[in-house]
Amino acid sequence: MTQLIRLCCVLICAALLALAPVAQVARAQDTPADAAQSGTGAQSGPQIGPLQSVLQQDAALFAKSSRKTIGPVIDRIVSSGLPGVPALLSAWQNKSIWQRKADGLFFLVEDLGDRSYALIDLDSGTEAGRAEKSDLKQLKPNSGVRGLIATALVQFQLSDPSRATREEALIAIERRPGPDLLAPLRASVAAEPDPVLKTRKMRIERLLTMAYDDDPQDRIAAIEAMSTDLGVDVRAALNPLVATTLAVQPTLPEDRNIARVLVPGSAQLERLAAYDMLVAADLAPPRRSAAEIKTLLATHIDGGRVGGVPVARLSDPEARVAAYGALFAEGLVPPRVSDADIDAALASHVFFETYAEPDPAVTDAAEAALATIATRVGLNQSLDLGLDAISLASIYFLAAIGLAITFGLMGVINMAHGEFIMMGAYTGYVVQQVIPNHTVSILVAIPLAFAVTFAAGVAMERLVIRHLYHRPLETLLATFGISIALQQLAKNIFGTQARPLTAPGWLDGALVLNDVVAISYIRIAIFVLALIFLGFFLFLMKRTRLGLETRAVTQNPRMAASMGINPGRVNMLTFGLGSGIAGIAGVAIGLYAKVTSELGADYIVQSFMTVVVGGVGNIWGALLGATMIGTLQKGIEWLNPSNTLAAQTYMIIFIIIFIQFRPRGIIALKGRAAGD
């Protein structure tokens, strides 16, 4: 009995000695997270927080991430609900996470210099030790992984206290929409405190619903809600829903959303193109071209014959067909596809277009919405074209209003009128070189341009024009020569380079009504300025002594002189006034176009056409003439947008024809003023 007890003790000791190494190996293989959960590990190993524990569950995948494997890891990190998840994802995305090689723990690091780093705990944010760079490994997710991280971050950014962060999240969704973003975006809408961002979130949510929602009824409701929106992003979201793919099968499939069935040989599907589709799908043998058939026949010439047909007869198409058929019967050439074979193959297959979207109700709603949007886009394009025409008409009217005075009232053909516009633009440029504030410089340039061109006009009238009254040909030649001289003088002073006349900052940008209709603030300002000068001219001619005297001298200069009016003085002031208004027009046009010595020449023809078409001597006629010319030019440019010069040519031809029927313009003067 004693020996039996001794034998049992020996066996027990041997078993314990055998199990000791196994226990040590098991403890050595425990992860830091397992050690943290045991009492001994908590006392002897490093303290591990909840976020670190989550990472340690997928430590290998987290450290060596790829787009194919990292998705579930990111989902587990996000679903943990820990407060440090957003900061962790941001640091991971920015390649700021490091792993300690010794125990596999993850840290943020702070470079201390000399290749030494302070380790920052992910949970507490406090320093958890130091390590050499050689002891650490930096996590560097690739672009695909960073994209998945960015998607996961969006749900946190959408509810971030910072408005800028929430706006950045919306921009990220707009740039990279996806089905995973719909749920977090929808959840953030109700709690959004900013009304502008809330409206934007609701709009993006509808766009994502249209594309990615699982419920067809919700998608249809979103499509119908956006059917009146003219945004480009709405059309971009709807177009994939109605995109079609051309396919061919022996029978029409019942499990596909069919857009339409195509008939080979129709305008939608060319006959041979349809057969080539069958060949590409391995549903029919390929066609042989005439060159291929000729080559195959030439390679099988035997004793002056091919397939029993003499070579001399192969110029006959029927003989070539017979020779090829004989070779095919011997198995020497592939089969030849005849027209009958092509027709038979086409008749035995169905060609159809199928929607990428499988739900017919969704595609029907998308097509109806696109049709509604197309109609509204067309109407808004017409409105945009009309606004462009009004804008161009206001520029032409502003350029022609001074000419309406000198030519319309005085009868002087002033070919240098465009150079007064150029002088006004250069005056604005010079003022901006002295006064850097663009708003102040424009306010100074407008009256100064009027003064400069008024003085130039008075000098021109006193020195040249007054000696040439009632001599239109000599006046035209003289003013044409003056225009050339003024252009050359501008080139000598300012050079041939275009000079900028910068608009004030509050005129930058455009008034955007929607994604189709927009008009720049500069054009609006020119339109307002044109209205101001229209009112000024009407007040001048109807309510002032100079206007009364001008009308009197225009109608009957001798009678006006007998009444004590000095016709020479009135003509001088009238010509100076017209030239001064041209200078102001130059400042306005210079904000819109580059200032060069040829600036006036670009508008002189349109100015004369405006006055002549509208009716000589009538300001309302000039307004109607400018509107007609501006609308006509924009309409022709819309029909032929690639050739502006052709549009101007067609416009001039139209105006020549118009003058043949109304030589006195739209509104003709009557009575003595018209020379009756």
Residue 301 lies in a domain: yes
Regarding whether 435 and 383 lie in a shared domain, the answer is: yes
**Phi and psi of 130, rounded to 5°?**
-130, 155
Predicted pLDDT at 370: 94
In the predicted model, is pLDDT for residue 207 greater than 80? Answer: yes
Q: Are 661 and 616 in contact (CB under 8 A)?
A: no
Q: Are 622 and 610 in contact (CB under 8 A)?
A: yes
**Bridge partners of residue 351, in order along the sequence:** 248, 262
Residue 37 lies in a domain: no
Regarding whether 167 and 238 lie in a shared domain, the answer is: yes
Share of the chain above pLDDT 90, in %: 24
Cα–Cα distance for residue pair 21/578, rounded to 1 Å: 110
Q: Tell me, what CATH number does 445's domain have? A: 1.10.3470
Regarding whether 443 and 300 lie in a shared domain, the answer is: no
CA atoms within 13 A on the CB side of 408: 31
Predicted pLDDT at 9: 47
Q: For 40-72, what is each residue's pLDDT tens digit?
A: 333 344 568 888 888 888 888 888 888 888 888
Label residue 673 by pLDDT band (50, 70, 90).
very low
Task: Select from 145, 175, 204 the last residue of a domain.
Answer: 145
Mean pLDDT, the chain, rounded, equals: 83
Question: Which of 166, 215, 171 has the alpha carbon at shortest distance from 195?
Answer: 166
**Phi and psi of 230, rounded to 5°?**
-95, 10
In the predicted model, is pLDDT for residue 499 greater than 80? Answer: yes
Task: Give the domain range for residue 57.
Answer: 50-145
Cα–Cα distance for residue pair 597/595, rounded to 1 Å: 7
Angle between helices 567-592 and 545-555 (to 10 degrees): 110
In the predicted model, is pLDDT for residue 23 greater than 70? Answer: no
Q: How many domains does the chain have?
A: 4
- Return the beta strands (E) in 238-306 as ranges: 244-249, 258-262, 305-306
Cβ neighbors of 24 (< 8 A, separation 6 or more) are none
- Of the listed ranges 12-26, 319-333, 447-461, 661-675, the one predicted with least confidence: 12-26
Predicted pLDDT at 194: 92
Cα–Cα distance for residue pair 116/107, rounded to 1 Å: 14
Label residue 28 by pLDDT band (50, 70, 90).
very low
Label residue 526 by pLDDT band (50, 70, 90).
confident
Helices (H), 312-359: 317-329, 339-347
Q: Are 300 and 333 in contact (CB under 8 A)?
A: yes
In the predicted model, is pLDDT for residue 160 greater than 70? Answer: yes
Question: Which of 206, 140, 221, 217 has the alpha carbon at shortest distance from 173?
Answer: 206
Find the mean pLDDT for residues 557-573.
Answer: 86
Q: Which helix (H) or strand (E) holds 108?
A: strand 106-113
In the predicted model, is pLDDT for residue 483 greater than 50? Answer: yes
Q: Which helix (H) or strand (E) holds 174?
A: helix 163-175
Find the mean pLDDT for residues 498-513.
Answer: 86
Cβ neighbors of 625 (< 8 A, separation 6 or more) are 400, 609, 610, 611, 612, 613, 614, 615, 665, 666
Residue 44 lies in a domain: no
Cα–Cα distance for residue pair 45/33, rounded to 1 Å: 10
Regarding whether 586 and 563 lie in a shared domain, the answer is: yes
Identify which has the larger pLDDT, 367 or 552.
367
Residue 365 lies in a domain: no
Question: Which of 392, 428, 463, 415 has the alpha carbon at shortest distance from 579?
Answer: 415
Regarding whether 497 and 604 lie in a shared domain, the answer is: yes
Find the mean pLDDT for residues 644-670.
Answer: 77
Predicted pLDDT at 642: 64
Q: Which two tokens stand for residue 532?
A: 């101001």
Residue 587 lies in a domain: yes
Predicted pLDDT at 422: 94
Nearest-5° Cα angle at 335, 329 to 340: 110
Regarding whether 299 and 235 lie in a shared domain, the answer is: no
Label residue 1 by pLDDT band (50, 70, 90).
very low
Helices (H), 544-618: 545-555, 557-562, 567-592, 601-614
Label residue 242 by pLDDT band (50, 70, 90).
very high
Find the mean pLDDT for residues 471-486.
Answer: 90
Identify which has the larger pLDDT, 90 or 370.
370
In the predicted model, is pLDDT for residue 430 greater than 90? Answer: yes
Regarding whether 391 and 351 lie in a shared domain, the answer is: no
In the predicted model, is pLDDT for residue 604 greater than 60? Answer: yes
Regarding whether 641 and 506 lie in a shared domain, the answer is: yes
Longest dimension (CA), the chain: 164
* Long-range Cβ contact pairs of 231-234 (< 8 A, separation 24 or more): 231/514, 231/515, 232/515, 233/174, 233/207, 234/207, 234/373
3-state SS, one letter per residue, for 430-455: HHHHHCCCHHHHHHHHHHHHHHHHHH
Residue 79 lies in a domain: yes
Predicted pLDDT at 191: 87
Task: Select from 116, 145, 174 the last residue of a domain.
Answer: 145
In the predicted model, is pLDDT for residue 20 greater than 70? Answer: no
**Phi and psi of 534, rounded to 5°?**
-65, -50
Q: Are 259 and 244 in contact (CB under 8 A)?
A: yes
Find the mean pLDDT for residues 328-336.
Answer: 79
Q: For 101-134, what is each residue's pLDDT tens digit?
A: 888 899 998 888 777 888 888 888 888 888 888 8
Regarding whether 527 and 409 lie in a shared domain, the answer is: yes
In the predicted model, is pLDDT for residue 454 greater than 90? Answer: yes
Find the mean pLDDT for residues 21-50.
Answer: 46
Regarding whether 383 and 350 lie in a shared domain, the answer is: no
Residue 270 lies in a domain: yes
- Of the listed ranges 3-12, 73-82, 333-342, 657-666, the one predicted with least confidence: 3-12
Predicted pLDDT at 668: 65
Regarding whether 279 and 208 lie in a shared domain, the answer is: no
**Phi and psi of 132, rounded to 5°?**
-80, 160
Regarding whether 332 and 249 lie in a shared domain, the answer is: yes
Find the mean pLDDT for residues 263-288.
Answer: 88
Residue 9 lies in a domain: no
Label residue 617 by pLDDT band (50, 70, 90).
low
b vs e for 71-105, b when ≥16 Cβ sit within 10 Å of the residue's Cβ?
A: bebbeebbebebebbbebbebbbeebbbbbeeebb
Label residue 639 by pLDDT band (50, 70, 90).
confident
Predicted pLDDT at 29: 39
